[in-house]
Chains A and B, each alone.
Chain A
């Protein structure tokens, strides 16, 4: 008789058992951990991430140094946010892995509902002075950052209210008065844009990114919609708000821009405004430092159908906030540091070092000396009081992607009718916004 050998089936079974064991071990690893119940009041060292641009690194370093000098037993370690396709991807992965730091000074309001659903954010309203601190510092604008349960899972930190930047030299070349260019109404804007292109001053009048990423509509449609609607968000109370005469007028305005080839519909790898390929751009106050040596610039509010007065115009905030994340074990220190880093003094440092607007009440008066020395920033500071945030709603990113897909189809490439595309998008977005 043939001596018995381990049968193939037996060995396959053994291999399967080993694999199953590995899966169980890995699954167990993936679901272990969790924060301590005492974490909310615990004090000790913490870690933070901040943005990786030069100005915010300078601000981050000085605030950490100032804190560490005064708090030797509660040291803060700061790092730049790791590189990824986007900050939101990096933070989402870190939450799942439990490797995120206590505080991230680069939290996009659009990502907050998703992070909250993941269980990745600490409810700041759970601190005794949480809600009062946020609402006292930010004022009425704070409500835009509250989640659907009325609590704050993000500290409103800074905004970059977007406006129209224009290149004075190119406008002069096009025969447009650069001291007061006619850009207040849609008709004026279109006429000026046409002059720029027809004169050959620049290949395009303006060049918002025509790509399909969900966030690109924050820099073409949304600022003009915020202005036209008197400060409405894309979605409110589970219903879309853009499929209205004001929203359609904005879409039709941009459709005209693209149809007349006043804006490019191809991906541009550089900076079209800095390169002189476009005479205008929709940007926030960060642009002042970036373009000051490259472009002889001027600034105007975003256009409206009727040419509203500047002090009535709303725009998109382009805010970045601070989130406190679930794996933080010393939340007492994190909360204290969060208040320290958003104090009047540190907000002043933020303004001075980055040119971005702290999300606090009455910025122009609070930092009057700064604006006296830097009048270029004053318009942005005044605009900062009238900003509109992305809605804090379920399926936030999917809602914006749905809108963007409709926008690129109808407005940028003219593949479908604007009204039909907006109606279809509104129907889908209503369904998404009503989900919990």
Chain B
């Protein structure tokens, strides 16, 4: 896209404009209000509620969590003053040498390896299918969205019924069913959680892709068809590049929500079972920070988790940007 110089006058604060008007104009001071709040103070005013929201709901708790992770902290009643001595990296040493914490990060790693590619592949594939003129399209769109809007507690009960040792799945599989059954099997517990979360959140990611697909020009498909491209070639060469921005968003959201996994191991595998095979960092944060009154170590786990998620998100961004170039 080009910009016409004739249609776009040079901004007043552009160096060219300054050079033209500045000669012999002398130096004039900008009012204090402008220096503090910019040339459009109303903009700051409009942005203020959201900035305050971010500061109170997001920045303050994160800052406080980092502070707690470097102190010996516990929650007290108002008016009760207790020392919160600085302990350096002691809390980090504690959590990073705790086999249960390290295992929980490993479990989330397994979860992400399974959940993220599955989420991207299935949601894109189903979105493409639902974008076509198929029978019952509206019904299918709603059907995929239902698990997403249903409370985890309710759908967990259905999965417990399906995947218990006497459940429907094992009855169909017969002698091929694993023993112990899926949700109490150390090998299968985490993959089952990954599958459950993929299924539950698919509707949301399909919606993202459906929105992105509306922006892929039909002409590109027609050109590809004229050039002799089949359905698969069109998908690879037109659809996938056309929804790349949506893919970056889906990847990011899947990674962030996956790293914060709590409800599913809490309910589906009875608190991270069997024998701790499906514990997650957030589950341990709940146990240590809320139940056991050790917010310092819980915060240290949280900070490590945030750092790891940022690293993964950064790598993801670099990879998607590179493929965009």
A interface residues, Cβ below 8 angstroms from B: 1-6, 10-11, 14-15, 18-19, 22-23, 26, 30-35, 85-86, 88-89, 92, 95-98, 114, 117-120, 203, 209-214, 265-267, 269, 326-327, 395, 397-398, 401, 405, 408-409, 412-413, 415
Q: B290 interface residue, CB < 8 Å from A? A: yes
- With A18-B55, A266-B181 as given contacts, are A118 and B76 in contact (CB-CB < 8 Å)? yes
Smallest Cβ-Cβ distance to A267: which chain B residue: B270
Smallest Cβ-Cβ distance to A86: which chain B residue: B291
Q: Are A118 and B35 in touch, CB under 8 angstroms?
A: no
Provide the bound-state CA to CA distance between A363 and B269, in Å: 41
Q: Is chain B's interface secondary structure helix, strand, loop, or mixed overall?
A: loop
Residues of A within 8 A of B56 (CB): 22, 26
Provide the bound-state CA to CA distance between A413 and B267, in Å: 18
Provide the bound-state CA to CA distance between A26 and B60, in Å: 9
Q: Are A413 and B77 in touch, CB under 8 angstroms?
A: no
Residues of B within 8 A of A327 (CB): 77-78
Provide the bound-state CA to CA distance between A213 and B291, in Å: 10
Q: B165 interface residue, CB < 8 Å from A? A: yes
Q: Are B13 and A22 in touch, CB under 8 angstroms?
A: no
User: Per-residue CB proximity of B157-200 to A under 8 Å, as 1/0?
Assistant: 10011001110000000000000110110100000000000000
Provide the bound-state CA to CA distance between A85 and B153, in Å: 12
Residues of A within 8 A of B38 (CB): 5-6, 11
Q: Are A4 and B292 in touch, CB under 8 angstroms?
A: no
Q: Are B79 and A33 in touch, CB under 8 angstroms?
A: yes
Residues of B within 8 A of A26 (CB): 56, 60
A316 to chain B, nearest CB (A): 20
Smallest Cβ-Cβ distance to B180: which chain A residue: A265
Please count the residue pairs between chain A and chain B whose beta carbons lie under 8 angstroms apart in the complex: 159
Q: Are A212 and B75 in touch, CB under 8 angstroms?
A: no
Smallest Cβ-Cβ distance to A94: which chain B residue: B77
A113 to chain B, nearest CB (A): 9
Q: B18 interface residue, CB < 8 Å from A? A: yes
A270 to chain B, nearest CB (A): 9
Q: Which residues between 51 and 65 of chain B lie within 8 Å of chain A, taking CB atoms?
A: 51-52, 55-56, 59-60, 63
Q: B203 interface residue, CB < 8 Å from A? A: no
Q: Are B55 and A5 in touch, CB under 8 angstroms?
A: no
Residues of A within 8 A of B186 (CB): 413, 415
Q: B34 interface residue, CB < 8 Å from A? A: yes
Q: Contacts A97-B78, A405-B100 known; list 12 others, CB within 8 Å.
A: A5-B30, A11-B38, A31-B79, A92-B75, A96-B78, A119-B76, A210-B270, A265-B180, A266-B160, A267-B160, A413-B275, A415-B274
Among A4, A14, A18, A114, which residue has its beta carbon within 8 angstroms of that of B293?
A114
Q: Are A326 and B77 in touch, CB under 8 angstroms?
A: yes
Q: B217 interface residue, CB < 8 Å from A? A: no
Q: Are A96 and B13 in touch, CB under 8 angstroms?
A: no
Residues of A within 8 A of B51 (CB): 15, 18
Q: Are B78 and A31 in touch, CB under 8 angstroms?
A: yes
Q: Are A118 and B275 in touch, CB under 8 angstroms?
A: no
Q: B141 interface residue, CB < 8 Å from A? A: no
Q: B140 interface residue, CB < 8 Å from A? A: no
Q: Are A1 and B18 in touch, CB under 8 angstroms?
A: yes
Provide the bound-state CA to CA distance between A409 and B270, in Å: 13
| 9 pairs of residues in contact across A and B, judged by CB atoms under 8 Å | A19-B59, A23-B60, A95-B76, A95-B77, A96-B78, A266-B181, A269-B160, A326-B79, A408-B276
Smallest Cβ-Cβ distance to B75: which chain A residue: A96
Provide the bound-state CA to CA distance between A96 and B68, in Å: 15
Q: Are A34 and B274 in touch, CB under 8 angstroms?
A: no
Q: B258 interface residue, CB < 8 Å from A? A: no
A147 to chain B, nearest CB (A): 15
Q: Which residues between 1 and 30 of chain B lie within 8 Å of chain A, taking CB atoms?
A: 13, 15, 18, 22, 27-30
User: Per-residue CB proximity of B76-110 to A under 8 Å, as 1/0?
Assistant: 11111110000000000000000010000000000
- With A1-B18, A5-B30, A118-B74 as given contacts, are A413 and B35 in contact (CB-CB < 8 Å)? no
Q: Are B77 and A3 in touch, CB under 8 angstroms?
A: no
Residues of A within 8 A of B137 (CB): none
B324 to chain A, nearest CB (A): 27
Smallest Cβ-Cβ distance to B272: which chain A residue: A212
Q: Are B184 and A413 in touch, CB under 8 angstroms?
A: yes
Q: Are A212 and B273 in touch, CB under 8 angstroms?
A: yes
Smallest Cβ-Cβ distance to A31: which chain B residue: B78
Q: B36 interface residue, CB < 8 Å from A? A: yes
Question: What are the nearest 6 A-B pairs in CB distance?
Answer: A34-B79, A211-B270, A119-B80, A33-B78, A212-B271, A98-B78
Among B35, B60, B164, B275, which residue has its beta carbon within 8 angstroms of that of A10?
B35
Residues of B within 8 A of A22 (CB): 52, 55-56, 60
Chain B CB count within 10 A is highest, among A35, A117, A267, A408, for A267
Q: B294 interface residue, CB < 8 Å from A? A: yes
Provide the bound-state CA to CA distance between A269 and B270, in Å: 10
Q: Are A92 and B293 in touch, CB under 8 angstroms?
A: yes
Smallest Cβ-Cβ distance to A3: which chain B residue: B30
Residues of B within 8 A of A210 (CB): 184, 270, 273
Among A118, A120, A401, which residue has its beta carbon within 8 angstroms of that of B291?
A401
A226 to chain B, nearest CB (A): 23
- With A267-B160, A413-B184 as given contacts, are A1 and B34 in contact (CB-CB < 8 Å)? no
Residues of B within 8 A of A97 (CB): 78
Residues of A within 8 A of B270 (CB): 209-212, 267
B138 to chain A, nearest CB (A): 32
Residues of B within 8 A of A31 (CB): 78-79, 81
- With A2-B13, A118-B76, A326-B77 as given contacts, are A88 and B35 in contact (CB-CB < 8 Å)? no
Among A14, A30, A32, A118, which residue has its beta carbon within 8 angstroms of that of B36?
A14
A112 to chain B, nearest CB (A): 12
Provide the bound-state CA to CA distance between A2 and B27, in Å: 9
User: Per-residue CB proximity of B288-319 to A under 8 Å, as 1/0?
Assistant: 00111110000000000000000000000000
A95 to chain B, nearest CB (A): 5
Q: B152 interface residue, CB < 8 Å from A? A: no
Residues of B within 8 A of A10 (CB): 35-36
Provide the bound-state CA to CA distance between A84 and B186, in Å: 29
Q: B287 interface residue, CB < 8 Å from A? A: yes
Smallest Cβ-Cβ distance to B15: which chain A residue: A2
Q: Are A413 and B274 in touch, CB under 8 angstroms?
A: yes
Q: B39 interface residue, CB < 8 Å from A? A: yes
Provide the bound-state CA to CA distance between A409 and B273, in Å: 9
Provide the bound-state CA to CA distance between A211 and B278, in Å: 12
B62 to chain A, nearest CB (A): 11
Provide the bound-state CA to CA distance between A265 and B164, in Å: 10
Smallest Cβ-Cβ distance to A34: which chain B residue: B79
